[in-house]
Amino acid sequence: MKSLHPLQTLVLGLISLLATNPAMAQEKFNIATGLGHPELINLGLRYQMGQSQLGISAGFFPGEYEDVYSVGGDYYYHFGETSVLSIRRPWYGRLGIYQLRLETDYEKRKYLLLVPRLGKDFNLSPKLGIAADAGLSFVLSREEEGLFEDIGGMSDVILSIGFSLFYRL
């Protein structure tokens, strides 16, 4: 039996969570989609607790000859002056941990990354916004095998940038 792709698992989890908890307080959950490194093209869910958030996401990057995907979790702490459209403060620090995998016919690479970032929410309405953040990715562990393993993979420290569109439920 073929296992589910991490993105499929996340989508199924989101649907079941939202379907089973219709009476929960509003604006505690945010759905987000975005683009970044190491998140790739991603879909995520965030849970808000005051000025903090916990988030999970799964992403992929399309390629004809390779499979690239990531799964991860983040902690956000919001600070700064309040926004007109939201009680959540717009500036945030974000600390994430991600697993990034690349597989081709010739090689397999797996990285565990620590990703600290600073960012800002740009509220478009009380429910909708855009977030942008930047920081660094630190490789905590790596597994590289295949024909190109001697060429080298990802550097130990790399730039990390992300953009997302979020919707408060």
Note whether residue 50 is domain-resident.
yes
Note whether residue 6 is domain-resident.
no
With 0.85 as the threshold, say if the pTM is over it. no
24 vs 17, 43, 53, 65, CA distance in Å? 11, 22, 16, 43
Note whether residue 4 is domain-resident.
no
Q: Are strands 91-104 and 128-146 parallel, antiparallel or unpaired?
A: unpaired
pLDDT tens over the chain, length 169 residues: 455 555 555 555 555 544 444 433 456 999 999 999 999 999 999 999 999 999 999 999 998 878 999 999 999 999 999 889 999 999 999 999 999 999 988 889 999 999 999 999 999 999 999 999 999 999 999 998 877 655 667 899 999 999 999 999 9
Note whether residue 13 is domain-resident.
no
39 vs 20, 76, 164, 169, CA distance in Å? 27, 15, 10, 22
Q: In total, how many domains does the chain have? A: 1
Note whether residue 109 is domain-resident.
yes
Note whether residue 79 is domain-resident.
yes
Note whether residue 10 is domain-resident.
no
**Within a 13 Å sphere around the CA of 156, how many CA atoms are in the beta-carbon half?**
1
pLDDT at residue 146, as a whole number? 79
Note whether residue 9 is domain-resident.
no
> Structural domain of residue 97, as residue ranges?
25-145+155-168
Identify the CATH number of the domain in which residue 65 sits.
2.40.160.20
Q: Phi and psi (nearest 5°) for 152?
A: 100, 150
